[in-house]
Each structure stands twice: as structure tokens, then as C-alpha cells.
């Protein structure tokens, strides 16, 4: 039984997440995800859209994920890997080199990210949509105002 442990926020679950989880699971038999809590995301400077319990439910509904535990701080990884009997610690290569010190207890692997998709990018697109909507509403109000003025 080969156990793989990974970490992340997995907010606004997208295809980059699915592809990563698929490749992680293919490294062994059991994939365990350390899912960042809402509070820990604040520490990391990230504001999540989807709360922890919902992100957890979504991850557990993914066929590649076997278990989820909570990530609350930067320095819990060593203890987690020992508790989970991890053979492999793997994560996207935006973290390349950052966790090499765990090599003494597990194989550390950085996988290439899927291009052109991220939660940050999705949040940006959504905020543009909001701005477009505001412009649309302002136009309607202006049209109504001029209509009333001409009554």
C-alpha cells in the first residue's frame, strides 16, 4: 500500500485541481489531502469563496481522493506524514524545492501545474463579470432617469 499526501486550498474546484489529484493518485494506492482551513488561508493571505466543510465535501466526492484532514499551520507536515504512514509527499511545482527537508521521511515530488487555470484567475474573471453587471445596471438607471426627465 503506497500512501501519497498532498496539501492545498482547492477553492472554486477546477480542472487544474482534478488533473493534479488524478496524477497524484496514479503515484500509488491511497491519496490523502491536507486541506487548508479558512483561518489558515487568512494566514496565507488568501480569502476563500467556498468554506472548509464544503471544500472538504467536494474533495471527498472526487474519485481520486481517499481521505481529507485539516491543515492549520505551516509546520504540521512532518507529524502528518508520520501519522498517515506516507510514502510520498507530492504537490504542484509552484512549491518546487520548498519541502525538500521532508525527504528523510518520504519521497518528495513536485508535479507540473496545468497551464492557464487557477483559483486566482477564476476570482479575477468573476470580479470582471460583477463590474460589467454594475455598468449594465448604471446604464439602465441612466436611461430610466432621462425617460422620467422627459415626462
Binding site for ligand CTP (CB under 6 A): 8-10, 16-17, 20, 46, 91-92, 94, 113-114, 117-120
Nearest residue (CB) to ligand CTP, 71 versus 87: 71
**Is residue 44 among the annotated active site residues?**
yes
CB of 151 to ligand CTP, least distance (A): 50
CB of 12 to ligand CTP, least distance (A): 8
Nearest residue (CB) to ligand CTP, 72 versus 120: 120
Euclidean distance between CA atoms 46 and 63, whole angstroms:
27
Residue 82, C-beta contacts closer than 8 angstroms, at least 6 positions apart:
105
Q: Which of 44, 131, 133, 138 is catalytic?
A: 44
Q: Which three cell numbers stand for residue 56?
A: 472538504
Euclidean distance between CA atoms 145 and 149, whole angstroms:
6
Nearest residue (CB) to ligand CTP, 126 versus 141: 126
What sign for the dihedral angle of Cα 59, 37, 33, 95?
positive
Q: Which three cell numbers stand for residue 105?
A: 521521511
**Is residue 107 among the annotated active site residues?**
no
CB of 79 to ligand CTP, least distance (A): 20
- List the one residue out of 39, 28, 37 whose CA is nearest residue 56: 37
Closest-CB residue for ligand CTP?
Answer: 92
Catalytic residues: 44, 46
Amino acid at each position: 500500500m503506497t500512501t501519497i499526501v498532498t496539501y492545498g486550498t482547492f477553492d472554486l474546484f477546477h480542472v487544474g485541481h482534478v488533473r493534479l489529484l488524478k496524477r497524484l493518485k496514479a503515484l500509488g494506492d491511497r491519496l490523502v489531502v491536507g486541506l487548508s482551513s479558512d483561518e489558515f488561508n487568512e494566514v496565507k493571505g488568501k480569502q476563500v469563496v467556498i468554506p472548509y466543510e464544503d471544500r472538504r465535501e467536494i474533495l471527498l466526492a472526487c474519485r481520486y481522493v481517499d481521505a481529507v484532514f485539516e491543515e492549520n499551520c505551516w509546520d504540521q507536515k512532518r507529524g502528518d506524514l508520520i501519522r498517515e504512514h506516507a510514502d510520498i509527499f507530492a504537490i504542484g511545482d509552484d512549491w518546487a524545492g520548498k519541502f525538500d527537508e521532508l525527504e528523510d521521511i518520504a519521497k518528495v515530488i513536485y508535479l507540473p501545474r496545468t497551464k492557464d487555470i487557477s483559483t486566482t484567475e477564476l476570482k479575477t474573471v468573476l470580479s470582471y463579470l460583477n463590474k460589467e453587471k454594475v455598468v449594465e445596471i448604471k446604464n439602465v438607471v441612466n436611461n430610466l432617469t432621462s425617460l422620467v426627465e422627459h415626462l
